[in-house]
């Protein structure tokens, strides 16, 4: 089967319509049942459904239908066609394997294409006067076929045959009485002139619309026998509008540099094609309303052009030195001239589209904690830079980008190898105001530095204002630093003395304070082992002093006085904070800092027999006692002296031999803060059997001049580790005789009794001697352990 257009009789669609997608059914008209594709169908039943391709063709298989009589019906018309015309045909299948062709004119399914019309009224803009004789071309967007209609004296035009018959001067397009018809078929006044399609309507230049804007638009015809009312069409008068933009930023904002170019795009309407025009522009100072002048001369620009169409645009460029214009707004006034005739003017001092804003920014930085231009160099510092802006257009999105600079180097501050930056995007509600830009960073590495905040204002990718002055006081913030050195004023070093009235002097070295201002330094003693505050009588040990620096950098001292009796072996660390107006601005709080530390020495002793290393010594004439002294918290490389004396545990007094105390000493220089050293006592102990001796040790710090200063001791008369015991020599055990003892009365043969008696007595004596020695030694050891 072939689908055809009923107007042309051709197997080709008209306009934007198509022959593809038409649907057909084949119905059995046989008295007897027929079998199609394995199914049995009765008379009047549909046996097949077909759909046309892009050429309007549809077909069955050669053997699809059995012998018989059938009818084909169009059940769905393709796009752009009505389901009207020749839409039903009967045919017979009489030969096996033969295709019945319903493809020729007269034997094809034919449909009527959809047709419609349009109408319009043409008037002038403003006064709405009807414009006669205005031609409009109507062009098919599918085929390119184009025809013209012309408005009558009432500005009315229509394609309908009810207005002008299609058969009247068909497609001449010269007067308001000429008819119009689309397609290759003969005009038919009973149908619409426009085939199913999309059309472009273009107003043509004529005397009636000279100097006015021409219209162009699209219309779709998709319903049959419907006239589309395009309404009242107007023409604009000759007008100009301008949009001034900075060439660099592409916006209404410009950076006040020494060379700025403003491009003012002048859009025009209603010009005469081919006529030369001239646009003259003048920059105006918005604040004064007068022409903007450089070196006493107004800034002007001029462009001459020939209009290619009645509407279009032309650019006018102003190039000038804008240095110092931050905060100023200039407005571009434009005039359109034809020869000596001024055709149009655009001069609105309040028009933002004509305006170029030279923004200006200023900054004021402060620390979020102190509210001052001084911050504590802590692990997390937040600086707030309040940026004031002026002369920015309201409603435009802007971005502030800030970076912290190191004033000393003039380079960007880096923390862990990264610069410290911040960015804020905002949309101002008015031309001036303030916003806060926050910088949060770890400032511990920056203690002692002076920072300067640089800010740049961006519109899109273009910088339009900046404030970057290393010497600006408002942009500057200082990060004071303090480092401390703790000393024992008695010894002049970091050795603490565990006594009731101990002192520590901490010298604080500061930088970046404000000369002439009053500051407070507060210190706290910390226990290095616990990391907590040192408590004496449940109270922290603190000190405080006020000072007024004469220079930004210097030193001040703080003295701590406290009871240190119980601090032997401890390490104290001095934490310092400097306050300005009750705000911490600098601190030194490093629990592992050596210069901040005071070390309280401690010693412990272990006395043993110099020969076998136990605490049981035989009281003979040559006794050696070795006292191993362990120490903590000494100064590596310093000189020390250990002095020991032997004490009689029973009397609690020094042991005297020949009226003299028994002493020993050892000088040493430690390589580490903790370690041990030996003190050896040698004495005649033959008279000391049964005594317990306790070693007392005293540690001295030796100055460079040899002065000895006692720093700690270990003197505990009941300390078992410091105690040794001297015992008597065990009783001698008689040797077993090698020969039979002689007796005065020889033993008779057979007389056993004397021999057994002698043997029993000898064995008993040996056992008794061994037992007494063992019990004596065990009892002595038990007493020592108690």
Q: Kindly tell me if the per-residue pLDDT of 560 is higher than 70.
A: yes
Give me the pLDDT at residue 431, please. 87
* Digit-coded pLDDT (tens) for 563-585: 999 999 999 999 999 999 889 99
Identify the pLDDT of residue 138: 98
Q: Where in the chain is the domain with CATH 2.60.40.10?
A: 3-113, 115-235
Q: Write the CATH number of the domain with boundaries 360-478.
A: 2.60.40.3930
Rounded distance between C-alpha atoms, residue 642 and residue 677, angstroms: 9
Give Dmax over CA atoms of the chain in angstroms: 190
Cα–Cα distance measured from residue 7 to residue 678, given in angstroms and rounded to the nearest whole number: 129
Kind and range of the H or E element at 476? Answer: strand 476-478
pLDDT band, residue 687 (cuts 50/70/90): very high
What percentage of the chain reaches a pLDDT higher than 90?
A: 78
Structure tokens at 535: 């408590």
Q: What is the pLDDT of residue 577?
A: 96
- The residue ranges of DSSP E strands in 164-256, in sequence order, are 194-195, 197-203, 216-221, 227-235, 239-246
Q: Would you say domain 602-727 falls under CATH 2.40.30.10?
A: no
Mean pLDDT of 81-90: 90
> Could you report the per-residue pLDDT of 737-751, keeping only the tens digit for each?
544 443 333 333 334
Note the pLDDT tens digit of each residue in 609-655. Answer: 988 889 999 999 999 999 999 999 999 999 999 999 999 999 999 99
Domain 115-235, what architecture?
A: Sandwich (2.60)
The whole-number pLDDT of residue 746 equals: 33
* b/e sequence 531-548, b meaning 16+ C-beta within 10 Å: eeebeeeeeebebeeebe
Residue 129, pLDDT score: 86
Tell me if 554 sits within 8 A of 448, measured CB to CB: no
The tens digit of pLDDT for each residue in 278-314 reads 999 999 999 999 999 988 899 999 999 999 998 999 9
Ranking 128-137, 562-571, 766-775 by mean pLDDT, the lowest is 766-775
- Model confidence over 437-472: pLDDT tens digits? 999 999 999 999 999 999 999 988 888 899 999 999
Phi/psi of residue 720, nearest 5 degrees:
-65, -35
pLDDT tens-place string over residues 162-193: 999 999 999 999 999 999 999 999 999 999 99
At residue 730, the pLDDT reads 62
Q: Average of pLDDT values for 355-366?
A: 93
Q: What is the mean pLDDT of residues 410-415?
A: 95
Beta-carbon contacts of 356 under 8 Å, excluding residues fewer than 6 positions away, are: 244, 245, 246, 252, 253, 254, 262, 329, 330, 331, 332
Residue 84 has pLDDT above 90, yes or no: no
User: 160: Cβ–Cβ under 8 A, 6 or more apart, which residues?
Assistant: 117, 119, 192, 193, 227
Yes or no: say if 488 and 599 are a contact pair by the CB < 8 Å rule: no
Under the banding of pLDDT at 50, 70 and 90, the label for residue 324 is confident
Who has greater pLDDT, 621 or 125?
621
pLDDT score at 211: 54
What single-letter DSSP state applies at residue 46?
E
User: According to the model, what pLDDT value does residue 729 have?
Assistant: 66
Residue with tokens 């001049």: 705
So what's the pLDDT on residue 635? 93
Question: Could you give the percent of the chain with pLDDT greater than 70?
Answer: 92
Distances (CA, A) of 497 to 174, 502, 628, 643, 713: 121, 6, 22, 17, 11
Range 3-113 has CATH code 3.30.930.10: no
pLDDT for res 627 = 94
Q: Does domain 481-599 have CATH number 3.40.50.720?
A: no
- pLDDT, mean over the chain: 89
Average pLDDT on 402-414 reads: 95
pTM: 0.52
Give residue 22's pLDDT. 95
pLDDT in tens, 245-264: 999 888 888 999 889 999 99
Tokens of 153: 């004296």
Residue 762 pLDDT more than 50?
A: no
Residues in the chain: 786
Q: Which CATH number applies to 239-357?
A: 2.60.40.3930
Q: What is the pLDDT of residue 756?
A: 38
- Best CA proximity match to 678, nearest among 747, 624, 598: 624
Token pair 């001052």 is found at 372
- List, as one string, the DSSP characters of 155-179: SEEE--TTTS-TTSSTT--SSTT--
Q: What is the pLDDT of residue 210?
A: 63
Check whether 372 has a pLDDT greater than 70.
yes
Given pLDDT bands bounded at 50, 70 and 90, which one contains residue 32? very high
Round to whole Å and give the CA distance between 79 and 57: 15
pLDDT value of position 774: 40
Question: What separation, in Å, do the N-terminal and C-terminal C-alpha atoms of the chain show?
Answer: 128
Residues of the chain with CATH 2.60.40.3930: 239-357, 360-478, 481-599, 602-727
**Tens-place pLDDT, residues 197-248:** 999 999 997 888 765 667 899 999 999 999 999 999 986 677 899 999 999 8
Question: Which tens digits make up the pLDDT trace of 703-735?
Answer: 989 999 999 999 999 999 999 999 986 655 555
Residue 411 pairs with which residues in a beta bridge? 406
Residue 433 reports pLDDT greater than 80: yes
What pLDDT digit, counting tens, does each position of 485-534 carry?
A: 999 999 999 999 999 999 999 999 999 999 999 999 999 999 999 999 99
């Amino acid at each position: 089967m072939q689908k055809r257009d009923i107007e042309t009789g051709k197997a080709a669609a008209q306009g934007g319509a198509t022959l593809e997608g038409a649907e057909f059914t084949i119905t059995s008209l046989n008295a007897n049942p027929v079998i199609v594709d394995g199914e049995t169908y009765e008379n009047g039943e549909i046996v097949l459904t077909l759909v046309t391709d892009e050429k309007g063709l549809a077909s069955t298989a050669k053997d699809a239908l059995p012998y018989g009589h059938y009818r084909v019906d169009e059940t769905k018309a393709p796009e752009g066609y009505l389901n009207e015309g020749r839409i039903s045909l009967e045919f017979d299948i009489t030969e096996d394997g033969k295709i019945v062709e319903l493809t020729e004119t007269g034997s094809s399914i034919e449909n009527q294409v959809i047709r419609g019309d349009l109408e319009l009224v043409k008037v002038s803009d403003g006064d709405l006067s009807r414009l006669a004789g205005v031609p409009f071309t109507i062009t098919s967007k599918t085929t390119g076929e184009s025809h013209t209609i012309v408005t009558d004296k009432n500005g009315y035009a229509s394609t309908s045959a009810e207005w002008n018959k299609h058969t009247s001067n068909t497609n001449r397009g010269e007067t308001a009485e000429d008819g119009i018809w689309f397609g290759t078929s003969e005009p038919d006044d009973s149908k619409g002139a426009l085939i199913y399609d999309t059309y472009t309507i273009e107003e043509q230049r004529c005397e009636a619309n000279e100097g006015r804007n021409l219209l162009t638009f699209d219309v779709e015809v998709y319903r049959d026998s419907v006239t589309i009312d395009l309404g009242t069409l107007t023409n604009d008068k000759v007008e100009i509008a301008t949009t001034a933009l900075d060439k660099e930023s592409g916006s209404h904002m410009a950076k006040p540099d020494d060379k700025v170019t403003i491009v003012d795009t002048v859009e025009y309407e209603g010009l005469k094609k081919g006529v030369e025009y001239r646009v003259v522009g003048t920059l105006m100072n918005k604040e004064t309303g007068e022409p903007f002048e450089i070196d006493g001369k107004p800034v002007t620009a001029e462009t001459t052009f020939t209009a290619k169409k009645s509407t279009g645009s032309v650019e006018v460029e102003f190039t000038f030195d804008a240095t110092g214009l931050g905060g100023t707004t200039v407005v571009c006034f434009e005039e359109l001239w034809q020869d000596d005739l001024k055709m149009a003017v655009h001069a609105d001092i309040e028009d933002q589209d004509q305006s170029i804003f030279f923004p200006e920014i200023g900054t004021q930085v402060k620390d979020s904690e102190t509210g001052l231009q001084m911050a504590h160099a802590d692990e997390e510092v937040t600086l707030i830079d309040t940026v004031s802006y002026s002369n920015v257009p309201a409603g435009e999105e802007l971005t502030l980008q800030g970076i912290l600079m190191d004033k000393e180097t003039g380079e960007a501050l880096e923390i862990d190898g990264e610069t410290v930056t911040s960015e804020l995007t905002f949309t101002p509600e008015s031309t001036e105001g303030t916003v806060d830009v926050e910088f949060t960073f770890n400032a511990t590495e920056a203690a002692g530095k002076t920072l300067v905040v640089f800010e740049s204002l961006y519109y899109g990718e273009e910088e339009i204002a900046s404030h970057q002055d290393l010497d600006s006081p408002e942009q500057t913030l200082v990060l004071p630093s303090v480092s401390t050195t703790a000393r024992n004023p008695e010894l002049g070093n970091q050795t603490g003395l565990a006594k009731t009235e101990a002192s520590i002097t901490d010298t604080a070295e500061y930088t970046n304070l404000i000369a002439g201002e009053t500051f407070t330094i507060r210190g706290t003693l910390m226990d290095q082992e616990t990391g907590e505050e040192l408590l004496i009588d449940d109270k922290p040990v603190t000190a405080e002093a006020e000072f007024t620096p004469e220079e930004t950098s210097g030193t001040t001292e703080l003295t701590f006085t406290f009871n240190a009796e119980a601090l032997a072996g401890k390490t104290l660390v001095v934490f310092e904070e400097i306050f300005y107006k009750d705000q911490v601005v600098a601190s030194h709080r490093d629990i592992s800092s050596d210069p901040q530390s005071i070390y309280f020495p401690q010693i412990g002793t272990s006395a043993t027999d110099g020969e076998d290393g136990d605490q049981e010594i035989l009281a003979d004439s040559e006794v050696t006692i070795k006292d191993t002294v362990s120490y903590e918290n000494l100064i590596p490389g310093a000189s020390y002296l250990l002095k020991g004396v032997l004490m009689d545990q029973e009397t609690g007094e020094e042991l005297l031999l020949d009226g003299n105390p028994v002493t020993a000493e050892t000088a040493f220089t430690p390589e580490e803060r903790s370690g041990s050293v030996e003190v050896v006592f040698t004495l005649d102990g033959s008279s000391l059997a049964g005594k317990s001796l306790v070693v007392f040790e005293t540690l001295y710090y030796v100055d460079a001049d040899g002065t000895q200063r006692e720093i700690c001791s270990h003197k505990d008369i009941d300390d078992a580790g410091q105690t040794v015991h001297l015992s008597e020599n065990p009783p001698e055990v008689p040797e077993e005789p090698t020969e039979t003892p002689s007796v005065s009365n020889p033993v008779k043969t057979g007389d056993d009794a004397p021999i057994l008696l002698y043997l029993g007595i000898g064995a008993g004596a040996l056992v008794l001697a061994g037992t007494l020695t063992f019990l004596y030694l065990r009892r002595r050891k038990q007493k020592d352990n108690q």
